Amino acid sequence: MDISRRDLLKTTATSGLIAAGIAASEGIFQPLLAQDAATADELLALAAPTATKKGEMLYRTLGRTGQQVSAIGLGGFHLGKIKEEQDSIKLIRTAIDRGINFMDNSWDYHNGRSERWMGKALKNGYRQKVFLMTKLDGRTKAAATMQIDESLKALQTDYIDLMQHHEILRFEDPDRIFATGGAMEAVIAAQKAGKVRYIGFTGHKNPLVHLQMLQVAAQNKFRFDTVQMPLNVMDAHFRSFEKQVLPVLVKNQIGTIGMKSMGDPYILRSNTVTPIECLHYSLNLPTSTVVTGIDSMQLLDQAFEAVRTFKPLTQAQVTALLNRTRTAAINGKYELYKTTSQFDSTAQNPAYLG
């Protein structure tokens, strides 16, 4: 993953405003209608993920970026839950040594502890081995600029491979981000300065908000490089990102980052599926990487076991998993990130938005 500053600046030619201006003029940002289920299903079937096996890990292409990322991403939030700094650093480096190169993080995780610990873990040559992603909460240019600079300092790096707008949960978030003096101005400025390579957004509340973000971006002649969202066996039944957003990302070749494969970890409490089945289901979708929370060597081993045993699921296997989880998935009982504010850090800390 080593990259020179010159190469870094070149990526702006294939990302963001330049590529999106062409894309928008060609009319390729055309969200599929929700009721067009047959078209969406056919599109997803054609987009079965292809992967390259190296050592213990599978690697997939991150949308139009051309970057090869591990099919499993290391979740930053859980790294900050570990009691001892050295244990977190050891876990991060072990994951990298075994082949995980996609690092997830956020400016706000544990008041910056997750980024600080990851920054220490990425010293001594480890930074060059990974694709580093973090997120910012700011909706204004000032707040976003401050958070970008703080993330760079905490992560002890001079550039972030992927910067994502965090927690796009509200219908007004896209308008705030793309407004004059909004956060997108700060991210674009950071990209032009070589501090950021690619740009994406995340959210876990409502697929319609994701579609709104994509629509506002297209109106502003901008193409996101990535989108992160919940993709799991229960999402398929309730306010489904898989059904409503994923086909749009596939159609537009936007890198898909799956998260909450086990519902943090409420889906497992339904006693309908195993952790390995959860990971297999998410890996079976056209995801570039599936970010999963890992805060112990045991869970790291579990993630690699899921990769080792993964084979593309047959339609019968997918149907069986969905039938098994359908009743439990009703009303989002096990997807609390959709139905409550329990996982909404920006709702609990509105000052983060700026």
Interval 60-117: pLDDT, tens = 999 999 999 999 999 999 999 999 999 999 999 999 999 999 999 999 999 999 999 9
Instruction: Check pLDDT > 90 for residue 48.
Output: no
Quick: pLDDT tens for 219-234: 999 999 999 999 999 9
Q: For strand 57-61 and strand 52-54, is the pairing parallel, antiparallel, or unpaired?
A: antiparallel
Instruction: Check pLDDT > 70 for residue 46.
Output: no
CA atoms within 13 A on the CB side of 197: 26
User: What count of other Cβ atoms lies within 10 Å of the Cβ of residue 5?
Assistant: 10
H or E segment to which residue 276 belongs: helix 275-284
Instruction: Check pLDDT > 80 for residue 341.
Output: yes
Report the pLDDT averaged over residues 41-55.
75
Which residue's entry shows tokens 């195993």?
274
Of the listed ranges 40-49, 265-274, 324-333, the one predicted with least confidence: 40-49
Q: How confident is the model at residue 51 (pLDDT cuts 50, 70, 90)?
A: confident
**11 φ/ψ sector (left φ>0, alpha ψ -120 to 50, else beta):** alpha
Which stretches of 1-109 are assigned E, i.e. beta strand? 52-54, 57-61, 68-70, 72-75, 102-103
Query: pTM of the predicted model, to two decimals?
Result: 0.91
Contact 32, 77 (CB under 8 A): no
For residue 265, is the peptide bond before it cis, meaning its omega torsion is within 30 degrees of 0?
yes
